[in-house]
């Protein structure tokens, strides 16, 4: 491919930036689950399992005469086998190489409201069952708000089929639980904030007046004169708005002839004096 000379530096920069980005990914030391079919939904669902990363889950399981230990790790090497996410160790033949049930570089994720199903494919091939297809591990992770990571449990090993055999495990984790919406409405939150501010004002102001200004009695109440005025003004306002017969009646009302209330007490007194 021909690259115009002027575009050379640009390509170099792109390359350099990509190298730095890859370096960052590699530097945080996590192996990553490689999704078989990439999609944003799957990437979001796998993020819900973050609390399980790097934990070593083991479970012992007996089938008839055989007894196995399963080791599961989320997106990192189980039993130090590269890319093996879930392995099976035969307890009777411990020196034998573990059987890989699923690889985390062939991951699929399905997620619902309160569960995530992790599927590791490309495990070791079955010897005599299932048309010698590759083993596959399904790990069903369900919501339990009480624990970050519960115990791994074996649900079933189904290999008596012609195809699509599977190992099914289950595990509980709080990470897959739906987010609880805050039950407090905005109004309630504002009210609580208001009450808190009020309390801080009262207590702070009280302490200030008492300790720094040295006030006594009701003067310890912060901004006492202001609040007294405020109280009076509010009372006036209330009086003005709520009282059915206003003291300052409109001129039209005053003009009405039958309004003895309007007469000033002094006038009445004057009137009575001569008697």
Decide if residue 30 touches ligand NAG (CB under 6 A). Answer: no
Of the candidate residues 56, 67, 223, 234, the single one contacting ligand NAG (CB under 6 A): 56
Considering the rule CB under 6 A, would residue 100 count as an interface residue with ligand NAG? no
| Contact residue for ligand NAG among 9, 23, 29, 82 (CB under 6 A) | 82
By CB under 6 A, is residue 138 in contact with ligand NAG? no
Q: State which residue, 62 or 161, has the beta carbon closest to ligand NAG.
A: 62
For ligand NAG, give the closer residue by CB, 103 or 117: 103
Q: Are 205 and 223 in contact (CB under 8 A)?
A: yes
- Closest CB to ligand NAG among residues 105, 138: 105
Residues 105-124 as x/- pattern, contact with ligand NAG by CB under 6 A:
xx---------------x--
Q: Judged by CB under 6 A, which of 33, 46, 49, 71 binds ligand NAG?
A: 71
Q: Is 101 in the site for ligand NAG (CB under 6 A)?
A: no
Which of 86, 103, 117, 171 is close enough to bind ligand NAG by CB under 6 A?
103
Is residue 74 a contact point for ligand NAG (CB under 6 A)? no
**Smallest Cα–Cα separation from 44: which of 217, 192, 210, 179?**
179
**The 3-state secondary structure of 81-149, one letter per residue:** CCCEEEEEEECCCCCCCCEEEEEEEEEEEEEECCEEEEEEEECCECCCCHHHCECCEEEEEEECCCCCC
Residue closer to ligand NAG by CB (options 148, 239) is 148
Return contacts of 51-57, CB within 8 angstroms, 24+ apart: 51/148, 51/149, 51/173, 51/174, 51/175, 52/141, 52/149, 52/171, 52/173, 52/175, 54/30, 55/149, 57/149, 57/151, 57/152, 57/171
Q: Does residue 83 belong to the site contacting ligand NAG (CB under 6 A)?
A: yes
Interacting residues with ligand NAG (CB under 6 A):
34, 56, 58, 71, 82-83, 103, 105-106, 122
């Amino acid at each position: 491919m021909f690259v115009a000379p002027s575009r050379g530096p640009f390509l170099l920069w792109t390359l350099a930036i990509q190298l730095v980005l890859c370096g960052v990914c590699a530097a945080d030391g996590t192996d990553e689950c490689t999704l078989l079919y990439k999609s944003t939904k799957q990437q979001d669902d796998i993020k819900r399992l973050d609390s399980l990363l790097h934990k070593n889950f083991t479970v012992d399981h007996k089938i008839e005469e055989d007894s196995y230990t399963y080791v599961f790790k989320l997106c990192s090497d189980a039993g130090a086998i590269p890319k093996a996410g879930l392995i099976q160790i035969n307890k009777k033949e411990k020196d034998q190489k573990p059987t890989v049930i699923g690889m985390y570089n062939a991951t699929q994720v399905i997620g619902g409201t309160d569960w995530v199903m992790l599927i590791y494919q490309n495990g070791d091939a079955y010897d005599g069952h299932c048309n010698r297809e590759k083993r596959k591990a399904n790990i069903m992770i369900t919501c339990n708000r009480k624990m970050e990571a519960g115990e791994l449990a074996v649900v079933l090993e189904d290999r008596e089929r012609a195809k699509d055999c599977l190992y099914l495990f289950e595990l509980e984790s709080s990470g897959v639980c739906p987010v609880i919406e805050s039950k407090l409405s905005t109004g309630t939150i504002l009210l609580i904030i208001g009450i808190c501010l009020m309390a801080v004002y009262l207590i702070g102001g009280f302490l200030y007046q008492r300790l720094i200004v040295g006030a006594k009695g009701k003067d310890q109440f912060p901004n006492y004169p202001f609040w007294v005025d405020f109280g009076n003004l509010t009372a006036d306002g209330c009086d003005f708005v709520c009282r059915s017969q206003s003291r300052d009646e409109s001129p039209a009302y005053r003009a009405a002839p039958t309004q003895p209330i309007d007469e000033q007490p002094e006038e009445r007194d004057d009137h009575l004096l001569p008697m």
